[in-house]
Structure 1
Amino acid sequence: MHLPATTLITLALAGQALSRAADMVCTAASATTLLWRVTGFEYRDQRVAMGASRLEYGLANFTLQNSALAHKTTCTAVSTRSSPGFFAGDVAYDCAVRPDAKGDLSRFAFDRASGLLTINQTWACDRDGSRFGGQGQVRLSLKCSEREQSSTLHSGTNYSDRSVVCDKVNVPVNITYLQGTI
């Protein structure tokens, strides 16, 4: 099948126009994005001791959704700092980066004692060259249960296992600072 040159040019221009419109949607949505959505936020920790050996860790995990972007970001951190709650809000953890979104970066910090979750995210609308950066915080109200068990093994070694598991929560996070270059 042979198409006339004018048809090919028209199709090419239509494709560019659609692509440009999609980019402008990204830019417009980014400029008016006022919140993120955190889904499935979970916190848990475990402390196991057997004799002189110890294993202690805390885990924070959630999915971050930015309404201006088509994809969601997975954020996971494991901490072995044995401060109360393992997370003190003073360390920023990187979230997963999609291979096709190299200019995007999401980070979070979590303070277990206060429940404060801080998010920083930068993202790009690649085709039109706009970039955005946002920051926001939310105080999570976690409902947690604690389980503790201890025993003495046959060898006479003391064993203990203490764990905290919190129910998953879904919350909006207000973007309190938004910056963009278009």
Structure 2
Amino acid sequence: MIHTKIYLLPILALLPYAASAPGSPPGGHHGPPPPSCPGPCLATSLSDFTWDLSIEYHAFWYFTTPAHQNSWGTVTLNLSNPAVPAVKTLACGASSDRLSDFFYGDQWYPCASNPASPAILDTSFRFFSRSRVDVNQTWVCDEDGLVKFAALATAPLNMTCTDVSWTNPNWTYGTGEFYSTRDVKCAPVSLRLKPNEERILL
């Protein structure tokens, strides 16, 4: 049976493997000693790491009668990991019909993996209406041995949105026309996202 050791490390403690593992002698390292000249993936992952992120939100409501509605919200997210530049941008998305804010931050949405770029193992996000986004990602650096990283980030959002409502003044039951609609569109938000927590999985 293979056991995976997980060390929860403050970001500063990752430079580089310097903190002693619990129970290790003074001056010990987490895992094997780092290479004297780490490759770009490892060097970036161990430095002041940030993701590049852009996010958009759109919600739409339409009523076929005053008492019958169909509604949904969608969020799209693009994420770039500078430690793995071969994966230019990872596209993620989710939709929800849970009234009335659609996204409540209680569900993680997985991003589709890219089989051509196995260095990115897993990515997911959760969205709190228009106020916050969380990102969770695991990736591998294959330089002088495999080193697996996992990071979690939380960022507040200040989204600029338009909210347009319309009511049909000539609506008549049975015509099939919309009684009313509401359309919320938020401009894309781009930001640098720094992990709140980063882990090395040995």
- TM-score bracket relative to the smaller structure: 0.7 to 0.9
CA distance in 2, matches of 1:60, 1:68: 25
What does residue 193 of structure 2 align with? Answer: 173
Provide the alpha-carbon RMSD of the alignment. Answer: 2.4
Please, which of 180, 183, 191 is the counterpart of residue 163 of structure 1?
183
CA distance in 2, matches of 1:88, 1:123: 27
CA distance in 2, matches of 1:43, 1:153: 32
- Give the number of equivalent residue pairs: 159
Task: Give how far 1:98 is off.
Answer: 0.5
Task: In structure 1, list runs of 5 or more residues that go unmatched.
Answer: 1-22
Matched, 1:146 2:163: yes
Structure with greater proportional strand content: 1
CA distance in 1, matches of 2:124, 2:200: 18
- Identical columns (%): 25
Q: Give me the TM-score of the superposition, normalised by structure 1.
A: 0.78
What does residue 9 of structure 1 align with? Answer: none
Conserved in 2, the CA contact under 8 Å of 1:120 and 1:136? yes
Task: Give how far 1:97 is off.
Answer: 0.9
**Over residues 50-97 of structure 1, what are the superposed CA-to-partner deviations in whole Å (9 max), with x where a residue is unaligned?**
025432110111210111111121111111111x32110111001121
Task: Give how far 1:29 is off.
Answer: 1.4
- SS, match of residue 195 in structure 2: strand
Matched, 1:87 2:109: no
* Amino acid of the structure 1 residue aligned with 2:199: Q
What does residue 7 of structure 1 align with? Answer: none
Structure with greater proportional helix content: 1
Conserved in 2, the CA contact under 8 Å of 1:117 and 1:139? yes
Please, which of 48, 51, 54 is the counterpart of residue 62 of structure 2?
48
**Over residues 86-135 of structure 1, what are the superposed CA-to-partner deviations in whole Å (9 max), with x where a residue is unaligned?**
1101110011210123451111111015x110110001124631110000
* Amino acid of the structure 1 residue aligned with 2:58: R
What does residue 16 of structure 2 align with? Answer: none
Q: Give me the TM-score of the superposition, normalised by structure 2.
A: 0.71
Task: In structure 2, list runs of 5 or more residues that go unmatched.
Answer: 1-37
Which 4+ residue blocks in structure 1 deviate beyond 3 angstroms?
153-158
